[in-house]
Structure 1
Amino acid sequence: MIPGPKSPGKNLNVYLRPLIDELKVLWKDGVQTWDVATKTNFNLKAALMWTISDFPSYGMLCGWSTHGKLACPYCMERTKSFTLPKGRKPCWFDCHRRFLPEYHPFRTNRKNFRKGKVENDIPAPRLSGTDMRSCVMRLPDVPFGKNDKKIIGFGESHNWVRKSIFWELPYWSTNLIRHNLYVMHVEKNVFDNLFNTIMNTGKTKDNDAARLDIKIFMDMHQTLQAFRDVLYKSIWDVVTELSRFFNDLCSKTLHEKAVSTLEKNIIEIKCKLEKIFPPGFFDSMEHLTIHLLYEALVGGPVQYRWMYHFERLMGMLKRAVKNRACVEGSICEAYSFNEISTFVSDYFPDEVLTKANRVLRNDDGRTYGKGKRIFLSEKDLHAAHTYILLNCEEIDEYVRSYDDELKVKNPNITDKDIQINRYKEFALWMKDKALTAGSMIPANIHALAMGPDKDQVIRNGYKVNGYNFHTKAYGHGKRTINSGVCVQGDCYNELNQSFYGELEEIIEFSYRGTYGGHINLFKCRWFDSEKGKHVDKHDIIDIDHHKSAYSNEPFVLPTQTTQVYYTPSPGRKRDRPPADWQVVIHTPARRREEVVDGEIYQEQMLNRPTVIEVDDNEVIELDGGDDPREIDSELILVPDDIELEEEELLTDSDTDSGTDEDDGYESAGEDNPGSDTNT
């Protein structure tokens, strides 16, 4: 905590001195620490891996100024950036072709980049830690206090402002990453530049000065408009590719081959952007995307190297301030209370409900809302009962017996015909089997076979799989959309595809006898996944809401569903109203995972450990509301040459974002830091 309204700037080393002194002790001598497992003391040693900060703080920590045309801490003085003559700002336009392969056609393109220029240079190699240390050690000492004197050559041959105190650590030069580029900060600034320029806001990069610079450096320039159909296809494609790049970069798992592919793709994406946007568009943030993949390859997934965890913690601490006259005291009291309550809860018996043993948020599989009794038609009741039977593990052996009987009666029957017969006749066959077998059949199987009651109960909402579902009628008029449903494939369909629909009713089916209890089903209106579905080359899915299908199979188990929402996209095509076709957006589930039996090794980039993700029983919700103590999901980089067993892999989209009973997910891009990015 640095007091005062201004940043310390060059004097940051003074504030870091106590930290560096303690890190030296932890590295060389260590400290005696109690091991609660073995009941003995051991000598604890520790090392600092890297720092995480936004880009201005990056410059204060490393000693290399992040302003001006030499702002890039990787390219350093070997950059090809320049100052725009009219815009008068540092520019990285046409600085990325040298990262392309030697014979890439963009290198010889004289028209769409700088006028008449062919790129023959190659990127400068990254400085090793030893070379960087040698360079830093030659810098003069900068005295403490107000000192505006710059090191000779600043802004021309280098951007050093001082010698960082971190170089006093004996191992600092051996770290492959010393200061992380903050991915969220880079992404946010890139998106702001993109959005403001395309939408021609007051902060657009396509201004009068930019047009004058275009005449100097370029032969042509395309006019920018809005998104998708409003944009020219070439512009829409590259914007989508950039969005997908950030989406893949911020995913929970990263494979080395995928990272290498992304590293090649982003270079081409930057070159495509240079063919479209004015030179003033390309500031330092646009350029830094080139270097994000190196840090991902070395440091692993982004969630280990960004500040959301700390920002959320600071937000919680700020909300704990009740006495503005004693800010620090309020924070310390709230933090201590949370630590003590968490520690004490570990000693409570299992029957006591604590945050360590309660069910995860939106993952308890329960309905809510006032129930209403209804009577289903015979058709719906038969369809629902059949679906329940075909998806109960207890009935699997009877399903196989039914299939065997069909094959004996008709040896040439196809699998598709067997599936059709199941939905038509299996429920009746199962009931006859229960009646004729009598006590020979288990009591719970008998109760299922006899079917549910005729009167059922419908509810407004259901929490399952980390999602909070609302029926379409219940969500009508709300700011959020929680009625979109997606089912991956079909238990009896050989095609592994996704089916999309809207949740119309949540029905509790009551069974009598020893089975007892309720079985909940979602009744959905499914959209046509053949004629009413379109997937473009960027894997963006459009659904025609006016084309329905599978009306004879409206039911699905809640545990088989994930949540989506549909949003219209603007279009120029007069013959396709936006309300007909809508884009499918997958919403991430709200739950928490933790790393099990794994750690990151910087020294062996190609030998990272295998890790799996599991559900932790950290409570996220109190009944009827949010708990601010949210913890992000975690997964470590998994090597491509390591195969995990099927039971070790969980494929749910398990990021720390979700809905509550009243609000749910926003119908448009909600700011969701734990999830795949919304750019």
Structure 2
Amino acid sequence: MGHRRWLPPDHPWRRNKRQFNGAQELGGPPEFPDGDEIMRQLDGVVNRAKTRQKLPPGEVDWKRRSVLYDLPYWKDQLLRHNIDVMHTEKNVVDNILGTLLDMSGKTKDNLEARQDLRKMKLRQELHPFTAENGKTLFPAACFTMTKKEKTDFLQVLHDARVPDGYSSNVSRCVKLKECTIGGLKSHDNHIIMQQIMPIALRGTLSDDVVRPLIKLCGFFRDICSKTLRVEDLDRLENQIPIIMCKLERIFPPGFFTSMVHVIIHLVRECKLGGPVHYRWMYPVERMHMESLMESNNREFTSHQQLEKQQRDQFCSWYKSYVDKLDKADRIELGEKLVTHAKGPMFDAIEYKRYVVNGVLYRTLDVDEEKKSQNSGVCVTTEDGPTYYGKLTRIIEVTYYDLTRYVLFKCDWADIQLNKGYKKDEYGFDLVNFKNLIHMGARITDDPFVLPNQVSQVYYVKDPKIQIGLLL
């Protein structure tokens, strides 16, 4: 709560009482104290145990004095303490999943939260009431999911298959019968938040609920980028207060724990400390885990006919053309083209798996037997469209000069708008592999690409979409 303080002074939400905490918000964001002010506040602080008791008026809320403040330069640091994005993201995902799925012990929309709304005289339509049988009930909120909506949401998480090493097997954490999810690792929450949850949310709840949550997922994805530009951070800094205020209009006050509130400060820390992957806890926890593992040891027209003849006869024509050249012409043509005119050797090697720049690719038939997905590829053309495909064959051919080439043969989706590809209202790419191109019907068809031309992608099936796959 209280995120309206970061809005522009003339924003209409500052004067909106009913949809927020019942009062106008005329104040600005808090100022960050400088080092001298912090040292003054810490002067005489005695380390004490954590307590839930309220502090007397005027007393500074310091529980202990960190030993880091003994360093002579520490008070002059611009970023004295780092907010760990890894744990922040994990707690935010826990709050969202627990509340949307109404999981016992994890939801922030419980009886106590509804009673708080009554005490605060907010959102009367959500206040609890007593039924005829004496049982206390409370009305469904805008974010309350039906059993089918929960099942559809979790089905996307359960069926999502990602490349090897991308994340752990999230499907093992999903319990479809109970409509719950649990046992997620921190990196699982990272992948769910930034990649899978926005897809799963589509078409479940109303747009007023889904859009702010998708925007929040996009915010975390942006601040976790490898490269951060100042203009992008300025945009995010203006965007996050609006996202948080939209969430305030949706969820009860108990949803906004301290770990949810610190989201408002993440952009500032990116400006001071740089990209988050230099500052979060993933490498530290990974090193710790590695040390623990070490210690524990473990029909056609004439034009079409012409195209077909050209396609079928080009190689033999090119070979006979080179054979007729004299020595000087062959030298001018180049040794590699002369050798390649002979064509590749008759023997070729076919693989089921291939690693390119450290990225594992697998053919579609192998992928269908796996829990992970490594057959998704895309090719981005310069100033042109992006082609999406599925890898079906990996073939290595060898020419007579022993030059080897690996070819990826793929099923390519028709990227013609509204036929095999389109963007939905949330900006997601929808790909339909029932409409394919480059199947060999025309001379221009070419289902093969070189491994260094592709990037790996994965596709997530959405049960709410009858045809197609969601990227």
TM-score by length of 1: 0.52
Q: How much does 1:149 deviate?
A: 9.5
What is the correspondence of 1:274-293 to structure 2 with a 5 Å cutoff? Answer: 274-293=248-267
In the alignment, the residues of structure 1 paired with residue 468 and residue 294 of structure 2 have an alpha-carbon distance, to the nearest angstrom, of 46
SS for the counterpart of 1:525 is strand
Which residue in 1 is equivalent to 2:81?
179
In the alignment, the residues of structure 2 paired with residue 237 and residue 301 of structure 1 have an alpha-carbon distance, to the nearest angstrom, of 26
Which residue in 1 is equivalent to 2:402?
516
Contact 2:41–2:60, Cα closer than 8 Å, also in 1 = no
Which residue in 2 is equivalent to 1:564?
457
What is the correspondence of 1:300-319 to structure 2 with a 5 Å cutoff? Answer: 300-319=274-293
Which residue in 2 is equivalent to 1:335?
none
Q: Are the structure 2 counterparts of residues 317 and 149 from structure 1 closer, same or farther at C-alpha, using a change threshold of 3 Å? A: closer
Q: How much does 1:485 deviate?
A: 1.2
Which residue in 1 is equivalent to 2:302?
none
Q: How much does 1:422 deviate?
A: 10
Contact 2:143–2:205, Cα closer than 8 Å, also in 1 = no
Which residue in 2 is equivalent to 1:464?
356
Q: Are the structure 2 counterparts of residues 178 and 581 from structure 1 closer, same or farther at C-alpha, using a change threshold of 3 Å? A: same
**1:582 counterpart = 2:431:** no
In the alignment, the residues of structure 2 paired with residue 206 and residue 219 of structure 1 have an alpha-carbon distance, to the nearest angstrom, of 15
Q: How much does 1:212 deviate?
A: 2.7
Q: Are the structure 2 counterparts of residues 223 and 321 from structure 1 closer, same or farther at C-alpha, using a change threshold of 3 Å? A: closer
Which residue in 2 is equivalent to 1:214?
117
Q: How much does 1:174 deviate?
A: 0.5
Q: How much does 1:497 deviate?
A: 2.2
Contact 1:154–1:160, Cα closer than 8 Å, also in 2 = no
Q: How much does 1:282 deviate?
A: 0.8
Which residue in 1 is equivalent to 2:394?
506
**1:437 counterpart = 2:325:** yes
Which residue in 2 is equivalent to 1:655?
none
Q: Are the structure 2 counterparts of residues 114 and 140 from structure 1 closer, same or farther at C-alpha, using a change threshold of 3 Å? A: closer
Match of 2:92 among 186, 190, 195: 190
Contact 1:523–1:554, Cα closer than 8 Å, also in 2 = yes
Structure 2: unaligned runs, 5 residues or longer: 126-140, 151-200, 298-306, 440-444
In the alignment, the residues of structure 2 paired with residue 429 and residue 583 of structure 1 have an alpha-carbon distance, to the nearest angstrom, of 44
Q: How much does 1:430 deviate?
A: 4.5
Which residue in 1 is equivalent to 2:423?
535
* Structural RMSD (CA): 2.9
In the alignment, the residues of structure 1 paired with residue 321 and residue 231 of structure 2 have an alpha-carbon distance, to the nearest angstrom, of 54
Contact 2:363–2:391, Cα closer than 8 Å, also in 1 = yes
In the alignment, the residues of structure 2 paired with residue 149 and residue 495 of structure 1 have an alpha-carbon distance, to the nearest angstrom, of 60
In the alignment, the residues of structure 2 paired with residue 420 and residue 536 of structure 1 have an alpha-carbon distance, to the nearest angstrom, of 38
- How many residue pairs get aligned? The number is 379
Structure 1: unaligned runs, 5 residues or longer: 1-92, 324-418, 585-679
SS for the counterpart of 1:239 is helix
Q: How much does 1:164 deviate?
A: 2.6
In the alignment, the residues of structure 2 paired with residue 205 and residue 150 of structure 1 have an alpha-carbon distance, to the nearest angstrom, of 20
Q: How much does 1:501 deviate?
A: 0.8
In the alignment, the residues of structure 1 paired with residue 209 and residue 313 of structure 2 have an alpha-carbon distance, to the nearest angstrom, of 54
Match of 1:224 among 144, 148, 154: 144
Q: Are the structure 2 counterparts of residues 141 and 482 from structure 1 closer, same or farther at C-alpha, using a change threshold of 3 Å? A: closer
Q: Are the structure 2 counterparts of residues 141 and 519 from structure 1 closer, same or farther at C-alpha, using a change threshold of 3 Å? A: closer
Q: How much does 1:532 deviate?
A: 1.5
Match of 1:447 among 326, 339, 352: 339
Q: How much does 1:423 deviate?
A: 7.4
**1:525 counterpart = 2:431:** no
In the alignment, the residues of structure 1 paired with residue 52 and residue 95 of structure 2 have an alpha-carbon distance, to the nearest angstrom, of 31
Contact 1:472–1:504, Cα closer than 8 Å, also in 2 = yes
In the alignment, the residues of structure 1 paired with residue 50 and residue 267 of structure 2 have an alpha-carbon distance, to the nearest angstrom, of 36
SS for the counterpart of 1:112 is coil
- Kindly indicate which of the two structures has a greater share of residues assigned to helix: 2
In the alignment, the residues of structure 2 paired with residue 306 and residue 128 of structure 1 have an alpha-carbon distance, to the nearest angstrom, of 24
Which residue in 1 is equivalent to 2:102?
200
Which residue in 2 is equivalent to 1:110?
17
In the alignment, the residues of structure 2 paired with residue 209 and residue 151 of structure 1 have an alpha-carbon distance, to the nearest angstrom, of 20
Contact 2:69–2:75, Cα closer than 8 Å, also in 1 = yes
Which residue in 1 is equivalent to 2:304?
none
Q: Are the structure 2 counterparts of residues 249 and 457 from structure 1 closer, same or farther at C-alpha, using a change threshold of 3 Å? A: same
**1:485 counterpart = 2:382:** no
Q: How much does 1:435 deviate?
A: 3.1
Q: How much does 1:546 deviate?
A: 1.6
Q: How much does 1:317 deviate?
A: 1.6
In the alignment, the residues of structure 2 paired with residue 322 and residue 467 of structure 1 have an alpha-carbon distance, to the nearest angstrom, of 29
Q: How much does 1:464 deviate?
A: 0.6
TM-score by length of 2: 0.74
Q: How much does 1:140 deviate?
A: 4.0
